[in-house]
Structure 1
Amino acid sequence: MQSPVVATADADARVMVLRAFDSEAWTLRFHTDLRSPKCGVIGDAAPVGVLFYDKPEKVQIRVRGVGRIEHNTPLADQAWSESTNFAKRCYLGDGPGAASDVATSGLPDWAEGIQPSDEQVAPVRANFAILLIELQELDWFHLANSGHIRAQFSRVGDDWEGRWVSP
């Protein structure tokens, strides 16, 4: 379930790599390019939905929460420092959605297929951000030949309330 689908309020959806889950704050963390359109849609606070599916376990989890983009914060700095230079290389290229006359990774030619040095990736820290989603609702669905099972959970303050519902 490391690569869920993340949907924003503009009905755009994309697969993203889940980088961390904070069980105390009930937040999911993803890395993103600050130049991405989703950063403008989410900003400081916007509704975000995330869909996970575990095929072997036949479990679907849908969550809803409030997303926010962080760029110049200690948590974003930590996420950047913990990333490999190969991962940081993605931020060297043109911003997401930049037009091209040919199929392209968007990376500069010199960066194709290499792991750049610390000095080469340092300037593109400005393009790096994190998406944090504070979870508010969770819908758990288990597919089974004997009959599907579904439960819903809602956050009430610091607690969660759950109930069984019909699939």
Structure 2
Amino acid sequence: MTRDERPATLAAVEAAVWQELVHAAQDRRHAWRTPVLATGLADGADARVVVLREVDAPTRTLVFYTDTRSGKVAQLLEQPAATVVMWSPALGWQLRCRVQLHLDTQGVSVLSRWARLKLSPAAQDYLSPLPPGSVIDTPTPAVLSRDDRGHFGVIYARVRSLDWLELHPDGHRRARFDAEGARWLQP
């Protein structure tokens, strides 16, 4: 989709959003490939950029990978409600997804994803002997065996609502899609 191809109806907007999400998971250059995931803390919120690995549009699920020792994992176990925010300059679209997070650390889905990932340089992210955020003396990565899946986990983010904002020279538009249905909103 391009900025000139503006979906005209709520149904067309929602379909275009999910099409872009699927595309983002497959295209490393898509702006939505690296959204911000915001989780809750007792004293506020915490946010970080994550990589969108997969999208299952029929189940309205976004998939991210994580080191199971990371702060976001502790946060999602305490409070699984979160928000994923994306911006695409090419489309002029902002997307805010209210999600329910679920962590998977075992089973076929984790093992099959690890089997693909362990052949890439990204595998080292989950094999470090130290948790993310640990203080280290030098930034030299440890080289570990890729036979062990280390601290690899999968986060499923089930989308509860989408808030879509289009910034366009011909007029801004906003819509929300959730359990109450689809509706236009004042931008």
* Residue identity opposite 2:164 in structure 1: W
- Report the equivalent of 2:169: 145
Matched residues in 1 for 2:120 and 2:165: separation?
Answer: 38
- CA distance in structure 2 between the partners assigned to 1:154 and 1:88 by the alignment: 35
8 A Cα contact 2:40 2:79, kept in partner = no
Q: Which residue of 2 aligns with 1:121?
A: 146
- Is residue 2:137 matched to residue 1:101? yes
Q: Comparing 69-78 with 29-38, which one deviates more in the overlay?
A: 69-78
Q: 1 or 2 for the larger relative contact order (CA 8 Å, sep ≥6)?
A: 1
Q: Deviations over 1:54-100 (max 9, x none)?
A: 11110011100100111012211121112134221222222101112
Structure with bigger strand share is 1
Tell whether 2:37 aligns with 1:6: yes
- Normalising by structure 2, report the TM-score: 0.75
Determine what percentage of the aligned residue pairs are the same residue: 30
Q: Which runs of 5+ in 1 are unaligned?
A: none
Deviation at 1:146, TM superposition (A): 2.5
Partner of 2:125: 90
Query: Residues 79-123 of structure 1, C-alpha deviation per residue, up to 9 Å, x if partnerless?
Result: 111213422122222210111234x15x21xx3xxxx7xxx1122
* Aligned partner of residue 24 in structure 1, secondary structure: helix
SS of the equivalent of 2:100 reads: strand
RMSD, matched Cα: 1.7
* 1:71 counterpart = 2:102: no
Map of 1:27 onto structure 2: 61
CA contact (8 A) 2:66 2:126 kept: no
User: What is the identity, as a one-letter code, of the residue corresponding to 1:4?
Assistant: P
Structure 2 unaligned regions, length at least 5: 1-31
Q: 1:152 to 1:50 in 2, by over 3 A?
A: same
TM-score by length of 1: 0.84
Runs of at least 4 residues off by over 3 Å? none
Query: Given that residues 127 and 150 in structure 2 are in contact (C-alpha distance below 8 angstroms), is that contact kept between their aligned partners in structure 1?
Result: no
Give the conservation status (yes or no) of the 8 Å contact 1:44–1:67. no
